Structure formats: C-alpha cells, structure tokens
Amino acid sequence: MALKDDLKGYWQVAKNTQYLLSYLGLSNRFKRTQDFTYDTYTEFFSRDTKKLKRVKQRLARINNQFITTTTLALENEFIKAHAQAISSVLGTEATGAKLLEVGGGYGRTIFPLSCIFPQADFYALEYTAQGPEAAKKYLEEGLSEIQGVAGSFKAEAAQNHPRFIEFRQGDGKAIHYGDKEFDVSYTNLVLEQIPEPADHERIMAEMLRVTRKASCFLEPWHDAQDLITLGFLNHNDYFRAKSEVLYRIGFKKVTFIPLGFQHNLRFKLGYVIAEV
Ligand SMILES: C[S@@+](CC[C@H](N)C(=O)[O-])C[C@H]1O[C@@H](n2cnc3c(N)ncnc32)[C@H](O)[C@@H]1O
C-alpha cells in the first residue's frame, strides 16, 4: 500500500512538472476569470448536498510522506488552523466576538467553527447565490458531519449546534458591512480562486476596513511554495502573493505560519494572521 501511494504521489509530481514548465514560460497557461469561478461554484453548490460529503479518498503529502486520506480529514486540518488562530487573537472561547468569513461557500468551514466557538457570532458572505442556499440545506442534512469535524478539534464541540449565522450573497471586493464591525475576518481558500492581483488587494483592503483586530487567510501564499507548486499556481492562474503584500495594504503586523500538509499535492498552504 505504501509503495502504491508513493508511486501515485511521484506520478502526480511528474504531472506537475508541466506546470513548472509553464512557470518557466515553456507551456500554455490556463487563465482564470471571476465568471469562471462563479459558474464553477454555482454548479458545485447546486449538487445534492449528500454528494458534497467529503469522504472521497485522495492523495496528500503530510510531513513529507505521501498518504491516502479523505478530503474531510484534510479539512479537519483547515479547521484546526483557523481555530488556533481565532483562539490566539480572541482567547480560547472568543466570548462575545463577531467574526466574518469572506467567501463562505456552502458553510463547510464556518459551521464547524461556530460549534467550536459557541459564544461567538459568525457571519458569512458568499459570491454565488447558490452558496447560501446550499448552506441552509447543509446545516439540516449535514449536521452530524459538521459536528464530527468540530469534535475533531475539541470533543465538547461535537455537542453544539451552530448558532444563528447570517449567510448572505455578497462580493468580497465590496463588503456590505460598516467599518470595524467585526473582531476577526478570515478566508479559507477564496483568494486562490480570484484571478486579478488588484482584486486580491481590494478584498484584503475591505477585510481590513471591516475588522477591529485581525484578518486571517488560509491560502496558497507564495511563502509556502516550492518551485513546482509555484509552477502549478502560475499555470492555473491561482493566487500566489507574498504575505508581505498585507503591509502595503495597511495591516500592522503579519505572521506567516506554514501548515504541515499539502493540498491535493498541487500546492502548499500557508496561514497568515494580519493584525490591524
Ligand atoms: C474553494 S471555495 C471555498 C469556500 C469556503 N471558504 C470553504 O472553505 O468551504 C471558494 C469560494 O470563494 C467564493 N468567491 C469567489 N470569488 C469571491 C468574491 N469576489 N467574493 C466572495 N466570495 C468569492 C466562491 O464562490 C467559493 O464559494
């Protein structure tokens, strides 16, 4: 099994060299657009929520070893990274805090986080109209999965029901909330989908505007990549900015935290806490 996993892993890496070639200007690039993102996610969130269940086996590299794991297990790692960051900024319970997820999708991140921090209020804005619809269904049909993910971080959280959450359609480039309304704002794999560097900066600047303490970003930051993974991001026109860009936007202190796992073998993730 281990040998099979290793061979599959090396095959993926070999495939990724075409992305490296593109990075070096030797093959064609795939250009991403916001319309492409909108259509892809509208289609994805229109699926039966039972099909969204993330038990599909996939290959990942964790601590430099190829392993076969479920998408869900990788997502537990995302939740852990956010929960640790939220605790570090707002205290272990985040009591009375108000948090905003930008690009909330169908809620797979915000719902478990709201079980982990039942004393805080979570809000989400999502680009597609379909995301908030799918989130309503996911909360009803996927409750045990949500609680299971929350419980993987903190056992007691598996007993909690996500509290009231406002889940609205909106664009991160023009956030429809007032200045300093939230203690923390965060993204989970959202900037990666947006093609234009100017748009990343508009979203980051909007997050700074509505936030009192810190904005957090789990994204494929340039700081986390090697040459091959950077080649992939470049080839597919994924977000790949250096985290220091946040200083230019006006954040005061930026902390980059490398995560010990690689998403889909195609790119590495980094966690950034940008203090206001
Ligand atoms: C990879 S999904 C991640 C969803 C969610 N954060 C999660 O972890 O499940 C990317 C999400 O970003 C959203 N998105 C893309 N462009 C956006 C924008 N300009 N404003 C807000 N959300 C956006 C997409 O519609 C999609 O839901």
- Where exactly are the structural domains of the chain? 2-275
Q: Is the CB of 189 under 6 A from ligand 1?
A: yes
Closest CA to 205 of 250, 162, 242: 250
78 CA closest ligand 1 atom index: 8
How much distance in Å is there from the Cα of 126 to the middle of ligand 1?
6
Residue 110 has φ and ψ, to the nearest 5°, of -70, -35
Q: From the CB of 134, is ligand 1 less than 6 Å away?
A: no
Q: Is the pLDDT of residue 51 over 70?
A: no
Order of strands, sheet of 253-263, starting from the edge strand that comes earlier in the sequence: 65-70, 57-62, 253-263, 267-275, 211-219, 182-188, 98-102, 121-126, 165-169
Stated pTM of the model: 0.92
Ligand 1 midpoint to CA 188 (Å): 8
Q: Would you say the CB of residue 82 lies under 6 angstroms from ligand 1?
A: no
Please name the residues in contact with 141: beta carbons below 8 A apart, sequence gap of 6 or more.
Answer: 49, 50
Cα–Cα distance for residue pair 48/134, rounded to 1 Å: 9
Report the C-alpha dihedral over residues 236, 55, 109, 172, rounded to 10 degrees: 30
Count the residues in the chain. 276
Q: Considering only CA atoms, which of 157, 63, 145 is closest in space to residue 108?
A: 145
pLDDT tens per residue, range 211-257: 999 999 999 999 999 888 888 888 888 999 999 999 999 999 999 99
Radius of gyration of the chain (CA): 18
Q: What does the block give as tokens for 268?
A: 């590495």
* Res 194 pLDDT > 80: yes
Alpha carbon distance 136, 212 (integer Å): 28
> Does ligand 1 have an atom closer than 6 angstroms to the CB of 185?
no
Query: Is ligand 1 within 6 A of the CB of residue 188?
Result: yes
pLDDT digits (tens, 9 = 90+) for 115-149: 999 999 999 999 999 999 999 999 988 898 899 99
Which of 32, 41, 77, 130 best tests ligand 1's pocket when mutated (most atoms within 8 Å of CB)? Answer: 41
Give the residue with greater pLDDT, 143 vs 74. 143
Mutation to probe ligand 1, out of 126, 146, 171, 192 (largest number of atoms < 8 A from CB):
126
Read off the tokens for 251: 């954040």
User: What is the pLDDT, as a whole number, of residue 53?
Assistant: 62
Average pLDDT over residues 78-92: 96
SS3 (DSSP) at 14: helix
Task: Give domain 2-275's CATH architecture.
Answer: 3-Layer(aba) Sandwich (3.40)
pLDDT of residue 2: 66
Residue 55 has what pLDDT?
64
Q: Return the structure tokens found at 168.
A: 């609205």
Atom of ligand 1 nearest to the CA of 107: 9
Binned at pLDDT 50, 70 and 90, residue 5 comes out as low
Only one residue has tokens 């794991």, namely 69
Amino acid at 228: I
Q: Which of 72-76, 90-94, 175-179 has the lowest mean pLDDT?
A: 72-76
Could you tell me where the DSSP H helices lie in the chain? 2-23, 34-45, 71-90, 110-116, 130-141, 143-153, 197-210, 227-235, 245-249
- For residue 99, give both structure tokens: 């948090």
| 242: Cβ contacts below 8 Å, ≥ 6 apart | 221, 222, 223
Q: By alpha-carbon position, which residue is closest to atom 27 of ligand 1?
A: 105
For the CA of 34, the closest atom of ligand 1 is 16
